[in-house]
Amino acid sequence: MNENAKAPQREKLSTIIENALESIKEISDVNTVVGDPIETVGGVTVIPISSLSLGFASGGVDGLGKQTTEKTKKFNFAGGGGTGIKINPVGFLVVKPSGDVSYLAATPAPKNDRLDTILDMIERSPELIKRLREALAKEKTDSGSEA
């Protein structure tokens, strides 16, 4: 295919990409991640913070393979694009009238299940040991041995 015939297809692809990137730019500005401050009656300012994940894909094909003829060379471009955006609230910056700033998480921190299980067992170990002794003592009594 000659360069003159490819020029319109390049323009179409660049238009697809430009439109998708413009949409991303409009949606993902800084106000999406750091929200507008909210002032309370007590003078406390709360600033919402979010995380933003986005994906962009575009593609095109130039040619009809063996079906291409001189007449169809001008019209053999197909393309498309897509954008996906996910916004999650993360937390809030809390600014007190005194100037103190703190962070308030929107969701509890993820827990390490194994570590939490071990820590829970350590915290409950006196209770578990007591139950184990009672169970062993009962077993000895049931079998006729002295406790």
Same domain, 41 and 59: yes
Instruction: Give me the pLDDT at residue 109, please.
Output: 66
Same domain, 133 and 64: no
pLDDT band at 76 (very low <50, low <70, confident <90, very high): low
Tell me phi and psi for residue 139, to 5 degrees: -65, -40
Total structural domains within the chain:
2
Q: Which range marks the domain in which residue 96 is found?
A: 3-106
Name the nearest CA neighbour of 47 among 99, 109, 95: 95
Same domain, 115 and 146: yes
Sheet holding 101-105, edge to edge: 38-39, 45-62, 77-95, 101-105
Same domain, 120 and 83: no
Two structure tokens written together for 27: 């949606």
Same domain, 99 and 119: no
d(CA 96, CA 99): 5
Specify the pTM. Answer: 0.47
Which one has a higher pLDDT value, 103 or 58?
Answer: 103
Tell me phi and psi for residue 94, to 5 degrees: -110, 115
